[in-house]
Structure formats: C-alpha cells, structure tokens
Amino acid sequence: MGQTDFAQALLIWNGIFTNDANTDTLAFILDHKSDLALFLINLLEPAKLYDTALGSPTSQNTHASYRRYNELDLTKARNRHAVICQLQRLAVSLSRILLMGKNGQSLEQLPMNTELRSDFDDDNRISLIPSTLSVTAPASWWARSTSYGEKWLFVNGIGGEYFWLQLYCEKLRDTYRRNILGVFNRSDGILWDLVECAGERDINGRQTLIRRTESSRAAQRTLERELSAALQNRESDGFIVMIAYSQGCLLLRHVLQEFAREDSHREAMANRLRVFTFGNPSVDWMGTDAQGISAPLCERVNYTEHFANGQDFVAKLGVLRTNQEEALRNAGYIHERSSVFINHARDWVGHLFGTQYSLRVEDYEDGGHSKLLACAGGRAMRR
C-alpha cells in the first residue's frame, strides 16, 4: 500500500475521532490520559487469575470468589475463543478502514460490521449466535423466588461475545438465585464499540454518531421486544428487574426513551419496572415525552440504581463524570427514585462485569440501602 493510500486511510480515522459527536469525549479522554492508561493496565488484571506469588488467590482477595466468571481465564477454551474473536473483529475493522482509504471512499460508506466465519453454520447462512440466552437456576434455588412473580433481564456491553454473556447471566443467577434472560449485544470489535458509545451517550442530541452498527440496532430491537413482553404480561404483578451493563445501558436508555416518547407501558413501568445499571457511560439518564418535554427516565419506572467502580474509566465518561450532587440530579442520576452506588475500594478498578464488578453489599458506599444487592441469596426485593 502506497503513501497516498495510507493518507486516505488517515482521513477515515480523522472522520471517526474528530466528528462533532466525539469532540467532548475526546477532550475528556485527553484530559485524563494517565487515568486511561491505568485503566487499560488494570483491565488485563483478570488474565493473571488474581493469583498470588504462591500460586493461589488469597482469602482476602474478593475477586477470587468470581473466578468462574472470569472473562480472561484463558485456561478455558471458550474464553480463548472469545478473545480471539475480539482480536479478529478489531483486525477486520482496521483492514476495512485501510481498504476504504485506499479506494478513496468516505466514512459514511464504511461498513461497521465485523461478522466472522465462526459466527455462522457450515453453509455460512444461518447465524449460530442466538439473540437471547436463558440461564435457569436449580429448582431448589428458585422454588421460593418464583413466588415473587419476578422477571429478570440482562443486556451486556462493549466487547460482547456470546460466552461472556453466559458468564454474566450465570453470575447473576448464582448471586440472586433467579432465572435470568440475557439479551445479546454482539460486539463489532472494541474500535466500533467505543466509537459508537461516544455517539450514543446523550439522548438529547448533543452527541449523535454518524451511524450505528447493525448488531447494536438488532440488540436494541430484541431488548425492546423482550421488555415489552414482560411489561404486557398480566399474569404476574411481580417486579421486572432490568440489569444493563456498559454499552447495554445505552441500548436500554434508547428503549426507555422510545417507551416515553410513545407513552407506552406507562402504568406497568411505574408499578413494576426496576432498572439497575453497571459501569454506565451515558452522559445523562434523561428522556423526552411525546410533547418533547425532558425529564429523568427514573420518573418513568418504579425505581433505579446505578453502580460503578470509582476508577472505572468507562463509568467516568458517564455516571461518574461528576461527583457534584446537583449536577447528578440535573443529569437524572440522583432522584428520590434513583441512587448511585460507588465502589471506592482500591482493587475494584476495572470495567469487566465478570470479575471486576462486585455484587456484595459491603463493597459499595451505602450499599446497605441498595434494593438489588439486598436480593443476594434469593431474598425478596424490598418495596
């Protein structure tokens, strides 16, 4: 590839990272370069399996209790498969950028899709990746919890591979002793995931990406379908527990915004829907109704809680962007029906949901007030 081809490719990069949608995000990242570097280093910590110099986790290392959900435990074949898929998707993204630059094409023509051969059957026609995943708790666990009449859903975030969605749903199942329905948000590689997050973070239009990936739109459609079905189910009056992680928070916000705009499911949302987010990168948690009036999305649902590690850089793009209570209220995060819980512990600094996010009450400031964390062990959710 000649020098001119490379120059054209750089124009594509320039279009991705300097369009109006990403200006504020880039400014924030450049102002926090050291935090970002430390975050990337800590993101790889699970690959060491949290072993000590003696070769086994210490009893004081609470990460060890989540080892079975470790995304970077490369002793497991399916984790190796997921990591390789992510590397392949990144390589496909980069190669297409270079190819588009070589052909003199623009950013708007760039295919933001990194489907792999391993995503399809032998005839390369039928996708092997379902849109949802059901993880069922043993009958001895959920015999009591089913009497609550609840429906639990989860949607994953950036860098999503199907096996990791399974790990996350199993972690929730084992912690809360409930059946979990996972909505799969397939990654198109970390590059497009991050670029897309920058454009999705503000529902009010201050940051709007040029285009969204088809996998992201498909996941949003699935989430809207499953959540609508739960809200319309008149056979149960139990809570609908919606848990979203990372980029999944952005997809959920789009769905809640659509419900608010269409004024649909109003009564069921107010009475039954409880929303819990982890590592939320959204600039705000606001939405507009059919009249275009802006209001916190937590006013549309029964209750909301947001969880974040204090040094999670992705959360710092959103829910942790400020520590000023008034600013958090204006952003829709703090409200009489919404709380923010932060894990300030020194060793809980990553973004991965499997081993780097705790579900223990004692790890979060004022965690004893959380309605979600109190459900551990199959306990009923507090009213």
Say what the pLDDT of residue 120 is: 85
pLDDT in tens, 334-355: 999 999 999 999 888 889 999 9
Say what the pLDDT of residue 341 is: 98
Query: 132-152: string of b/e by CB count within 10 Å (b at 16+)?
Result: bbebebeeebbeebeebebbb
**Of 78, 111, 144, which closes a domain?**
111
**Would residue 55 count as lying in a domain?**
yes
* Residue partners of 324: CB distance under 8 A and separation at least 6: none
Q: Look at 197-211, 261-275, 357-371 and tell me which has the smallest mean pLDDT.
A: 197-211
**Would residue 383 count as lying in a domain?**
no
Of residues 179 and 103, which shows the higher confidence score?
A: 179
Does residue 203 carry a pLDDT above 80? no
State mean pLDDT over 81-106: 80
Task: Tell me the pLDDT band of 145, cut-offs 50, 70 and 90.
Answer: low
**27/62 same-domain check:** yes
Q: Look at 2-11, 70-79, 325-334 and tell me which has the smallest mean pLDDT.
A: 2-11
Task: Tell me the pLDDT band of 209, cut-offs 50, 70 and 90.
Answer: very low
Task: Tell me the pLDDT band of 2, cut-offs 50, 70 and 90.
Answer: very low
Q: Look at 73-82, 89-98, 243-252 and tell me which has the smallest mean pLDDT.
A: 89-98
* Residue partners of 87: CB distance under 8 A and separation at least 6: none
Q: Which domain holds residue 53?
A: 3-111
Q: How, if at all, do strands 151-155 and 240-245 pair?
A: parallel
**Would residue 21 count as lying in a domain?**
yes
Does residue 210 carry a pLDDT above 50? no
Q: Taking Cα atoms as reference points, which of 254, 249, 243 lies closest to residue 154?
A: 243
pLDDT in tens, 234-271: 888 899 999 999 999 999 999 999 999 999 999 999 99
**317/176 same-domain check:** yes
**Of 111, 140, 161, which closes a domain?**
111
C-alpha dist (Å) from residue 29 to 1, 17, 34: 31, 12, 9
Tokens found for residue 367: 């965690």
**143/81 same-domain check:** no
**Would residue 123 count as lying in a domain?**
no
Task: Indicate which CATH number applies to the domain containing 292.
Answer: 3.40.50
**67/139 same-domain check:** no
Does residue 312 carry a pLDDT above 70? yes
pLDDT in tens, 153-202: 999 998 899 999 999 999 999 999 999 999 999 988 887 887 777 665 55
**101/164 same-domain check:** no
**Cα angle for residues 203, 12, 115 (degrees, 5° grid):** 75
State mean pLDDT over 93-97: 80
Share of the chain above pLDDT 90, in %: 52
Encoded amino acid at 214, one letter: E
What backbone torsions phi and psi does residue 340 show, to the nearest 5 degrees? -115, 130
* Interaxial angle between packed helices 214-232 and 247-262, expressed in degrees from 0 to 180 and rounded to the nearest 10: 60
**84/167 same-domain check:** no
**348/305 same-domain check:** yes
Q: Look at 37-46, 53-62, 346-355 and tell me which has the smallest mean pLDDT.
A: 53-62
Say what the pLDDT of residue 186 is: 92
Task: Tell me the pLDDT band of 22, cut-offs 50, 70 and 90.
Answer: low
**Would residue 126 count as lying in a domain?**
no
Task: Tell me the pLDDT band of 34, cut-offs 50, 70 and 90.
Answer: confident
Domain count, the chain: 2
Of residues 291 and 97, which shows the higher confidence score?
A: 291
pLDDT in tens, 118-136: 888 777 776 778 999 999 9
| Cα dihedral 65/370/367/245 (nearest 10) | 50
Say what the pLDDT of residue 108 is: 61
Q: What is the mean pLDDT of the chain?
A: 85
Beta bridge partners of 140: none
